[in-house]
C-alpha cells in the first residue's frame, strides 16, 4: 500500500514538473493591483504618474505580448527577459513593481535592486520611443535592470546619463542575458552561442524544433539583417548580434520537408511576427540559442 502511495506521489511530482504550472495567474496579479492603495505620486520617482503606472501594469498583465522596448533603445534584452515573468509569474512581477514604486527599491528573490538617483529621475521622461513614451512602469523596469545587471559591454558607460538608454550603457550581451534569466527568474538555462562566433548547427531546423517542445527558446540574432535595411556601408556593424527574440514556432514552408525555406513565428517589439526565411539566412543571423524553463522541465 505504502509503495503504491509512494509511486503515485512520485508520478504526481513528475507530472507537475513536466506540465510546470505557472506559479501565479494574471487574475491574482490584477487582484493585488486592485486592492493595493498606491500614493498619487512617489517621492522616489518624480516623473512617474500613478494613473499611467497602474494602467501600464494592467496592460502588461492582461496583454504580456505587448510589452515594448521602445524605438531605437538598447532595451531589447530586458524586454525579452520580461516575457518570462509576465507569462509565468505576473503576481511576483506586480508585487515587485508596486514595492519599487512605493519604496524606490525592491527585492526579487535574492536580488536587491537599488536604482541610482539618475535612474529614479529618468523613469517617466523617455520620449519619442513609441508607446514606451506613456509606459512609465516599463521605463522603470528596463532602467533598473540596465542599472543593476552590468557586463563588459557596459564598462565604459558606468552611469546613466540622459540618452543612455540608446547607448552601450543599456546593452545586453549573450552572457549577461543568460545570467539574468538564471539569477532573476531562477530558470534552468541551456545556452549555445557567443557574442562573436556563430555556433555550428548540423541540422538547425531539427535543433530548434526539438528545443521548442519544452520551455522557452530565445534566439540571439543580428538585427541588422533581420530588421533593418542592408544599405549600411559598415561591414563591422553588420557582423555582430544585437537583438533577442523569442521563437514560438518553426515550420518548413508549404510543409515541404526538402524545402530550405521556413516560416518562423517570433516575438519582439511588442508583438508576434511571422516571417519566411531560408535556413541558410537563419544560420547566418543566429549567434546564440537559449533554451530555458523552470528546473527539471527542460531537456
Partner 1 sequence: MRYLPGLCFFLVLVQGMSCTTINISNYYRKNQSTLDSIEETFRVAYAQKPFSIEFTDRPFNRLSLELITDTLTYIYEYNVGEPRLQDTLLRYGYDTAAINSIITNMRSMECTWVDNLNYWTYPDVKKHTLIYIPL
Count of residues touching partner 1 (by CB under 8 A): 19
Closest CB 266 distance from partner 1, rounded Å:
10
Nearer to partner 1, 17 or 283 (CB): 283
How, if at all, do strands 106-108 and 111-113 pair? antiparallel
Sign of CA dihedral 143, 221, 188, 95: positive
Q: Does 127 bind partner 1 (CB under 8 A)?
A: yes
Nearer to partner 1, 21 or 71 (CB): 71
Q: What is the C-alpha to C-alpha distance for residues 41 and 31, in angstroms, rounded to an integer?
A: 21
Contacts of 158 (CB under 8 A, 6+ apart): 150, 169
Q: What is the C-alpha to C-alpha distance for residues 91 and 295, in angstroms, rounded to an integer?
A: 19
Q: What is the C-alpha to C-alpha distance for residues 40 and 107, in angstroms, rounded to an integer?
A: 22
Q: What is the C-alpha to C-alpha distance for residues 254 and 262, in angstroms, rounded to an integer?
A: 9
Which of 271, 280, 283, 299 touches partner 1 by CB under 8 A? 271
Among the residue ranges 24-32, 207-215, 249-257, 267-275, the one whose residues contact partner 1 (CB under 8 A): 267-275
Sign of CA dihedral 161, 163, 169, 172: positive
- Element holding 106 (H helix, E strand): strand 106-108
Which of 116, 118, 265, 284 touches partner 1 by CB under 8 A? 265
Closest CB 233 distance from partner 1, rounded Å:
8
Which of 6, 9, 196, 274 touches partner 1 by CB under 8 A? 274
Closest CB 226 distance from partner 1, rounded Å:
9
Q: Does 200 bind partner 1 (CB under 8 A)?
A: no
| CB neighbours of residue 3 within 10 Å | 7
Residues 58-117 that bind partner 1 (CB under 8 A): 71
Which of 161, 272, 283, 299 touches partner 1 by CB under 8 A? 272
For residue 79, give Cα distances in angstroms to 14, 35, 245, 289.
32, 27, 9, 17
Instruction: Compute the residue count for the chain.
Output: 299
Per-residue b/e over 47-70, b at no fewer than 16 CB within 10 Å? bbbeeebbebbbbbbeebeebbbb
Among the residue ranges 29-37, 84-92, 94-102, 128-136, the one whose residues contact partner 1 (CB under 8 A): 128-136
Which of 30, 32, 102, 131 touches partner 1 by CB under 8 A? 131
Which of 134, 205, 212, 251 touches partner 1 by CB under 8 A? 134
Query: Roughly what angle, to the nearest 10 degrees, separates helices 26-35 and 90-103?
Result: 30
Nearer to partner 1, 49 or 176 (CB): 49
Which of 20, 32, 38, 52 touches partner 1 by CB under 8 A? 52
Residues 226-245 that bind partner 1 (CB under 8 A): 229-231
Q: Does 16 bind partner 1 (CB under 8 A)?
A: no
**In the complex, which residues of this chain contact partner 1 (CB under 8 A)?**
52, 71, 127-131, 133-134, 229-231, 265, 271-276
Amino acid at each position: 500500500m505504502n509503495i503504491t502511495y509512494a509511486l503515485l506521489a512520485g508520478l504526481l511530482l513528475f507530472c507537475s514538473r513536466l506540465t510546470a504550472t505557472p506559479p501565479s495567474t494574471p487574475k491574482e496579479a490584477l487582484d493585488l493591483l486592485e486592492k493595493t492603495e498606491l500614493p498619487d505620486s512617489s517621492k522616489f520617482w518624480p516623473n512617474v504618474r500613478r494613473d499611467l503606472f497602474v494602467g501600464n501594469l494592467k496592460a502588461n498583465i492582461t496583454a504580456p505580448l505587448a510589452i515594448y522596448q521602445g524605438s531605437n533603445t538598447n532595451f531589447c534584452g530586458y524586454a525579452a527577459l520580461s516575457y518570462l515573468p509576465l507569462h509565468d509569474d505576473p503576481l511576483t512581477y506586480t508585487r515587485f513593481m508596486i514595492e519599487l514604486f512605493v519604496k524606490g527599491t525592491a527585492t526579487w528573490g535574492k536580488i536587491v535592486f537599488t536604482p541610482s538617483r539618475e535612474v529614479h529621475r529618468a523613469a517617466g521622461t523617455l520620449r519619442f520611443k513609441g508607446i514606451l513614451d506613456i509606459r512609465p512602469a516599463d521605463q522603470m523596469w528596463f532602467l533598473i535592470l540596465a542599472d543593476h545587471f552590468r557586463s563588459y559591454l557596459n564598462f565604459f558607460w558606468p552611469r546613466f546619463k540622459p540618452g543612455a538608454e540608446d547607448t552601450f550603457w543599456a546593452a545586453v550581451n549573450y552572457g549577461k542575458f543568460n545570467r539574468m534569466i538564471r539569477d532573476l527568474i531562477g530558470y534552468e538555462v541551456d545556452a549555445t552561442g557567443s557574442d562573436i562566433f556563430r555556433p555550428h548547427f548540423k541540422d538547425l531546423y531539427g535543433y530548434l524544433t526539438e528545443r521548442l517542445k519544452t520551455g522557452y527558446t530565445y534566439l540571439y540574432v543580428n538585427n541588422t539583417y533581420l530588421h533593418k535595411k542592408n544599405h549600411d556601408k559598415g561591414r563591422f556593424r553588420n557582423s555582430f548580434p544585437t537583438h533577442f527574440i523569442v521563437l514560438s514556432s518553426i515550420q518548413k514552408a508549404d510543409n515541404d520537408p526538402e524545402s530550405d525555406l521556413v516560416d518562423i513565428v517570433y516575438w519582439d517589439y511588442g508583438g508576434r511576427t511571422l516571417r519566411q526565411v531560408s535556413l541558410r539566412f537563419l544560420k547566418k543571423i543566429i549567434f546564440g540559442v537559449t533554451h530555458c524553463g523552470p528546473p527539471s522541465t527542460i531537456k
